[in-house]
Amino acid sequence: MLRIFRKYTTFIAVALLIAELFGMLHFKRMEELSGLEIHDNYFYLFQYLFIFTFGYLVLRWLFRLWKEYRSLKNDKNEAELMLLKSRVDPHFFFNTLNNLYGLAIEKSDRAPEVILKLSEVMRYTIYEGENDYVTLKNEIEYLETYLEIHKLRYQKKVRISFKIQIDDIEIKIAPLMLIMLLENAIKHGVESMVDNAYIDMDLKATKNTVFFQIINNFKPVIRGAKGIGLSNLKKRLQLIYPKRHELLLKKGEGTYQATLKIQTL
């Protein structure tokens, strides 16, 4: 019975509105003909009921518009997130495949290991990347696998340090968030250096906060096309952690520092 009432609430309210309007007209007419104050009182009663019912219909209409707006906004945000998550820098995959081709030509013993590591990275990107949140443990393993591929690729010596201080390894974070800063450090830092390249990473996490910092050196070059990595990261942070994140990018003389702080709760 209650379900039926809810279904036809708007119809009932409109019917009451019409009835109240006729009631107002009726008692206004009766008051004019008889001059009795009681008819005037009934007129005001129906007038108040009319205003109340009309206000209810307006509020119900506004609430429905608000729900539709929220639904469209959520759908849009979800669509944007799916698109942004699919934009993991292809530069890494192209270079790795080129290196893999070279290793295969040389019949290098490193080729099978590169293939295995690359498949792990692709699996995580495709499958875990679809989740809303993953554990920091999974993200760390992903970063480490990504770094191992680069170590296998490079002929030059690159110093990489990764400090980890985490209270709980099961803390949840949006997937593929940290990798974008690492991609940027490698693409615009390590790959621009002939030698003495380095990347220093620091990851700290408490129950409510995740802190990630990368410092790398780079060789100043003529600026080319703007990459999508950092702009992608900024958009994702705005969508997932609005007013709960801080991203600081600092460029110095031959060094670049990226610091990301996220409030997880």
Q: What is the mean pLDDT of residues 94-98?
A: 75
Q: Looking at 22-31, 217-226, 238-247, which range is the least confident one?
A: 22-31
pLDDT > 90: percent of the chain: 24
pLDDT in tens, 159-205: 999 999 998 889 999 998 899 899 889 888 888 777 888 999 999 99
Quote the mean pLDDT of the chain.
76
Sign of CA dihedral 113, 193, 87, 124: positive
Residue of 244, 179, 257 lying closest to 210 (CA atoms): 244
Phi, psi of 221 (to 5 degrees): -135, 170
pTM over 0.75: no
Which residue has better confidence, 59 or 120? 120
The DSSP element (H or E) to which 108 belongs, if any, is none
**Residue 83 reports pLDDT greater than 70:** no
Residue 127 burial (10 A CB sphere; 0-12, 13-18, 19+): exposed
